[in-house]
Structure 1
Amino acid sequence: MKSITFDQTGKPTDILKLTELSTPEPGPNEVRVKVIAAPINPSDIMFVQNLYGIRPQLPSGAGFEGVGIVEAVGEGVQMRTGIRVSFTSIGTWSEYAIAHHRSLIPVPDAMSDEVAAQLFVNPFTAYAMVQDSGVPEGGWLMLTAAGSAFGKLVIQLCAMRGIKTIGTVRRDEMNDELKALGLTEVINTESENLAARVKQITDGVGVACILDAVGGHTATEAIKCLARGGKMLIYGLMSLQDPVLNAGLLIFRELTVKGFWLTDWMRRVDSQTRMDVAQNVIGLLTSGKIQMPVEATYPLHEITEAVEHADRPGRRGKILLKP
């Protein structure tokens, strides 16, 4: 089978390669999935660079999620073959992938392959983080990198719940699209003073919660926008720079700054909560109430072009690999 692999960590365009491997056999509690499509997410790129919470065991496959057909099952798996599933694993950028049976989510016929390929990482994270934010209807939530695929999901979820949102961008070409999705206010961090604009928008109160994916200077400035007792949830570090925390702000405004990683969240919550999130996410996506656009698809042998496209600023949708 053909698979995208890497023997050393580093810049994806330099180290990712198309490799011919033996088709794997599932072990106990595992299934083999014939991959239909898999997205390129920021977490995939961080993993390849050895900057993620899970460290690659070299040589390694790449890609954390996808959609495919269950082709073979291992011992202890009570699942029929031939069903279409969304799944998570390491090495989904491949013609076949091995996944633990508990990581599989059967997808309804009404859900397209393009949406099902993206079912887990962004939608589950967005849903869980909006829940954890604790922002009530009518409250303010701020998100950095609002134009990302994840940001667009958060905007739509908040709009459905009546939560007002402020999104940061570095370019203005997507502002109308973000407003159409439900973003209440947009701030260009390259041309506007973030803290001053948020103070103006919220009548001096600040926002109850910030979801940050950027880190560095953006997160440092964003912390100043929190209301008393507010919290920042950090789920990414696109700038590859740590924010500077102002101890005075943390102390005298009683602020909370904490990390969020979906893998740990899934371990932390009970099975009923996980099931509820899955049902809600699938329902929203299948009904079309939440959109997850795809900008382009690439075959495996064009992996270099695909990751370059995924890193391109101003994208309006996810980049998919289709083996």
Structure 2
Amino acid sequence: MKSIIFTQAGKPVDVLKPTDIALPEPGPKEVRIKVIAAPINPSDIMFVQNMYGIRPQFPSGVGFEGVGIVDALGEGVEMQTGIRVSFTSVGTWSEYAIAHQRSLIPVPEAMPDEVAAQLFVNPFTAYAMVQDSGVPEGGWLMLTAVGSAFGKLVIQLCAMRGIKTIGTVRRDDMNDELTALGLTEVINTETENLAARVKQITDGVGVACVLDAVGGHTATEAFKCLAKGGTMLIYGLMSLQDPILNAGLMIFRELTVKGFWLTDWMRRVDSHTRQDVAQNVIELLTSGKIQLPVEASYPLDQIAEAIDHADRPGRRGKILLKP
């Protein structure tokens, strides 16, 4: 079978190669899945560069989520083959992948493959972070890099809950689209003073929570926008630079800075909470109340083109690999 493999960490375009490998066999409590589609997420790119919370064991597959058909069962697995599932694993950019039975989410018939492929990483993270933000109806939440797939999900979830949102961008070409999704205010950090604009928008109060994926100067400035008692949740570092946090603001405004990683959040919460998130995410996606657009799909042989496309600025949807 064909799989995307890398044998050393580095830039994805340099180290990722379509490789013929043996068809894997599922172990105890595992299943083999014939992959239909898998997205290219920022976490996948960080993993290839050895900059993620999970470290690659070489030679390594790539891709943390996807959708496919259960093809073979390992010992102790009580389910039927032929079921379409969303799943998480390491190595979903492949014709076949192995996944633990606990990672499987049966996909409703009404949910398209393109949506089911993206079911876990962004929707679960967005839902969980909006919950953890604690922002009430009518409150202000700010998110950096708002034009990302994750940002668009947060906008839609907040709009449904009556939470007002401020999003940061570096270009204005997506402003109308973001506003249509429900974004309350958009700030271009290249042309506007972020802290001054947020102070103006919120009548001097600031925002209750910031969701930051950028780090560096953007996060440094976003931190200044927090209201007294506010919280910054950091879930990414797109700039590859650490923010500089003002200790005085942290002390006198009683601010909190926390990291967020979905893997740890899923381990930390109880099974009822996990099931509640899964049911709500599936219902929202199946009903079309929130959207997960796809811009393009590529076969495994075109992995370099797919990675290049995923890295383009101004992209309006997820890039999928379809084995």
Q: Distance in 2 between matches of 1:57 and 1:254?
A: 41
Q: Distance in 1 between matches of 2:236 and 2:76?
A: 36
Q: Distance in 2 between matches of 1:79 and 1:251?
A: 54
User: How do residues 31-70 of structure 1 correspond to structure 2 at under 5 angstroms?
Assistant: 31-70=31-70
Q: Distance in 1 between matches of 2:76 and 2:255?
A: 47
1:32 to partner: Cα distance: 0.1
User: How do residues 163-312 of structure 1 correspond to structure 2 at under 5 angstroms?
Assistant: 163-312=163-312
1:142 aligns to what SS in structure 2? strand
How big is each residue's C-alpha offset from its partner over 1:174-214, in whole Å with a ceiling of 9 and x where there is no partner? 00000000000000000000000000000000000000000
Q: Distance in 1 between matches of 2:243 and 2:60?
A: 31
Q: Distance in 2 between matches of 1:291 and 1:116?
A: 12
How big is each residue's C-alpha offset from its partner over 1:192-251, in whole Å with a ceiling of 9 and x where there is no partner? 000000000000000000000000000000000000000000000000000001111100
1:117 to partner: Cα distance: 0.1
1:87 to partner: Cα distance: 0.1
1:79 to partner: Cα distance: 1.0
How big is each residue's C-alpha offset from its partner over 1:137-186, in whole Å with a ceiling of 9 and x where there is no partner? 00000000000000000000000000000000000000000000000000
One-letter amino acid of the counterpart of residue 316, structure 1: R
The alignment status of 1:144 with 2:180, answered yes or no, reads: no
The alignment status of 1:133 with 2:98, answered yes or no, reads: no
Tell me the equivalent position of 2:122: 122
2:142 aligns to what SS in structure 1? strand
Q: Distance in 1 between matches of 2:253 and 2:76?
A: 53
What CA RMSD, in Å, does the superposition of the two structures yield over aligned residues? 0.3
Q: Distance in 2 between matches of 1:253 and 1:59?
A: 48
Q: Which runs of 5+ in 2 are unaligned?
A: none
Kindly tell me the number of residue pairs found equivalent between the two proteins.
323
2:239 aligns to what SS in structure 1? coil
Q: Distance in 2 between matches of 1:76 and 1:189?
A: 53
Q: Distance in 1 between matches of 2:164 and 2:73?
A: 46
1:110 aligns to what SS in structure 2? coil
Q: Distance in 2 between matches of 1:137 and 1:80?
A: 43
1:137 aligns to what SS in structure 2? coil
- Kindly report structure 1 stretches of 4+ aligned residues shifted beyond 6 Å: none
One-letter amino acid of the counterpart of residue 31, structure 1: V
Q: Distance in 1 between matches of 2:51 and 2:27?
A: 29
User: How do residues 40-119 of structure 1 correspond to structure 2 at under 5 angstroms?
Assistant: 40-119=40-119
TM score, norm. by length of structure 1: 1.00
Q: Distance in 1 between matches of 2:253 and 2:74?
A: 54
One-letter amino acid of the counterpart of residue 145, structure 2: A
Q: Distance in 2 between matches of 1:123 and 1:78?
A: 27
2:109 aligns to what SS in structure 1? coil
1:35 aligns to what SS in structure 2? strand
TM score, norm. by length of structure 2: 1.00
Q: Distance in 1 between matches of 2:109 and 2:256?
A: 42
2:43 aligns to what SS in structure 1? helix
1:23 to partner: Cα distance: 0.4
Tell me the equivalent position of 1:158: 158
Q: Distance in 1 between matches of 2:28 and 2:84?
A: 20
Tell me the equivalent position of 2:313: 313
One-letter amino acid of the counterpart of residue 139, structure 1: G
1:136 to partner: Cα distance: 0.1
Q: Distance in 1 between matches of 2:51 and 2:170?
A: 24
Q: Distance in 1 between matches of 2:62 and 2:110?
A: 28
1:59 to partner: Cα distance: 0.8
How big is each residue's C-alpha offset from its partner over 1:244-276, in whole Å with a ceiling of 9 and x where there is no partner? 011111000000000000000000000010000
One-letter amino acid of the counterpart of residue 228, structure 1: K
One-letter amino acid of the counterpart of residue 303, structure 2: I
